[in-house]
Structure 1
């Protein structure tokens, strides 16, 4: 159940998450579905970087998710790589109907790990399950790869709103568990990848959309 709260309420945590993967796999659509429950059939390619926010409640703590949507085109990778820094979570997205987008996940994962914190929470997301008859990547193969790389895994459909909220909340909840554990003890153990959402997780507040303008001159190669 969704509920709305005071816009000026106290924020306990701000968690930055980045969406990465090839162009046209549906990263922006996943973000729009989660943050605003919207889907646009004529969505345009992301230029540079933009982000949206959504505030949720986990374990009676108010968490503001700052979700960055990074362009998948090669010429923007030098620009967007700077935005990996400070990210606590990442969603690696591929299109289940386009095998090359899955094959490229290893490259995106390597780039992510070279820029992000070692303890970043990562989920592999196979999007566009609504196009099941065109599938070229099987869930079993993706799940096996995710387990081997220490990632969570879910298949989603931004069009049908299937598993979209679950994918984001899985990442946010695991980040919260890690942060809480750090606050409780200085003796950290191995990070667990077995997580479940706590009962009563409530979505609160309205989302905010902000576009970041990337200068056209300079560094894009």
Structure 2
């Protein structure tokens, strides 16, 4: 995918966090490629790029997906650094994944997030399993309010509300002046990097020719 800075106005780093198996990778793949395949668990960290236009701005989202397993916790501080948006994912059919958001993941965000203004969104995934639901929409909304998060329920499998998750998060990030400034600074920095640097190359026809 070409990422020359002329093609986007803002660049944001988004994180997906939550227990293993809640469908973080499936949400990401569903959003990036419109595919809904079952995926093996992520090992360590994976990230993908997505360009889209939201609110009249061309955005480049770098979306980081992490393994939910304890043994990858050593990744945390660098993983959280500089993120403008964080999506906390739980599985509506597994109550412990919901409980762990407040007991484990929200605390980790507070501990490691370097952006005070970072926008957070609580996402209840797998609403296609409605008959197996153990966490009501009302409980999800209440926890989101308590944690100061946006809230959406979605299904990576049916793609219901998947695109809305990322678009609503991006719109909210653009409403925060400090995050907007960071997003445009990344673009400016990349533009500078891409200026040709061959002026400093060795002079041709050197003494040994």
Give TM-score scaled by structure 2 length: 0.80
Structure with greater Cα Rg? 2
The question of whether the paired residues in 1 share the 8 Å contact of 2:125 and 2:155 is answered with: yes
Q: Aligned-pair distance for 1:180?
A: 7.9
Trace 1:170-185 onto structure 2 (pairs within 5 A). Answer: 170-179=168-177
Give the direction of change, closer, same or farther, for the CA distance of 1:61–1:23 in structure 2 (3 Å limit). Answer: same
Give the direction of change, closer, same or farther, for the CA distance of 1:85–1:182 in structure 2 (3 Å limit). Answer: closer
Which has the larger displacement, 24-33 or 8-17?
A: 8-17
Aligned to 2:159: 161
Aligned to 2:15: 18
Aligned to 1:38: 35
Trace 1:146-157 onto structure 2 (pairs within 5 A). Answer: 146-157=144-155
CA RMSD of superposed structures (Å)? 1.7
Aligned residues: 177
Give the direction of change, closer, same or farther, for the CA distance of 1:110–1:139 in structure 2 (3 Å limit). Answer: same
Gaps of 5+ in 1: 1-5, 184-221
The question of whether the paired residues in 2 share the 8 Å contact of 1:16 and 1:86 is answered with: yes
Trace 1:52-71 onto structure 2 (pairs within 5 A). Answer: 52-71=48-67
The reply to whether residue 85 of structure 1 matches residue 81 of structure 2 is yes
Query: Highest relative contact order (Cα 8 Å, sep 6+), 1 or 2?
Result: 1
Aligned to 1:195: none
Gaps of 5+ in 2: 182-209
Look up the SS of the partner of 1:104 in the other structure: helix
Which has the larger displacement, 73-82 or 91-100?
A: 73-82
Q: Aligned-pair distance for 1:118?
A: 1.2
Point out the structure with the larger helix share. Answer: 2
- 1:121-175 Cα offsets, whole Å, 9 max, x none, are 0000000011111111111011011112111111110000001001111111111
Give TM-score scaled by structure 1 length: 0.76
Q: Aligned-pair distance for 1:56?
A: 1.2
Distance in 1 between residues matched to 2:178 and 2:76, nearest whole Å? 29
